[in-house]
Structure 1
């Protein structure tokens, strides 16, 4: 069974990882003090990673304002649902707003515009 996560939390984790990756890239630049051009390249790549993280955080923040807030039937806590199916951000309960999908096995492919092929 694949461990599913809430989409908003997954994207926020990716943005946080970008920040740490940027710091690590910048740290590698310190090893090239004798070659200022290489050091500056590492510093700029790290900065680009941190800027990309800022853009992702802004994007998910805007996306989060459009998400539908529901109360999870399992844990009773409010959570946001993006797309047709999502997981509760607290207890990982599968959630859907589409009455056609109620009772079906959770599959993230339901969020795609075209239906998933059978057997895949």
Structure 2
């Protein structure tokens, strides 16, 4: 399994990265106006503001998607830490202790060990 944390947390991480990246792009674009780079600075500010706003909208979409998946996820109790965690797909990791979990015995690493 390629995920090192639960799938829901991975999607939330990508949403956070898009949010921070969009804000960073908007701040970089603002430098064109703050430092008075003339017409080129205004064009740069406009381009970076639009790209940053698109990244922010994409992050909103990712957060919405993660929320919708989270509401339909199966909640199980982790055998390692005993906390309730959400399971997406055939295999997933515990949101707290990162133990690999599965409802299908064919994919369950604890049953095959």
Higher relative contact order (CA 8 A, sep 6+): 2
Deviations for 1:32-79, whole angstroms, at most 9, x for unmatched residues? Answer: 222312211101111111110001000110111111000101101000
Give the deviation of 1:4 after TM superposition.
Answer: 1.5
Give 1 or 2: higher helix fraction. Answer: 2
Q: Which runs of 5+ in 2 are unaligned?
A: none
Give the C-alpha shift of residue 3 in structure 1. 6.7
Give aligned pairs, total: 104
Aligned to 2:14: 14
Once residues 38 and 104 of structure 1 are traced to their aligned partners in structure 2, the CA distance between those partners, rounded to angstroms, is 57
Moved over 4 A (4+): none
Instruction: Answer yes or no: is 1:5 the counterpart of 2:11.
Output: no
| TM-score, with structure 2 as normaliser | 0.85
When the two chains are superposed, the root-mean-square deviation of aligned CA atoms in Å is: 1.5
What is the match of residue 45 of structure 1?
51
Q: What are the equivalent positions in structure 2 for 1:20-99 lying under 5 Å apart?
A: 20-33=20-33, 34=38, 35=40, 36-99=42-105
Query: TM-score, normalised to structure 1's length?
Result: 0.81
Q: Which consecutive residues of structure 1, in runs of 5 or more, have no partner in the other structure?
A: 106-120
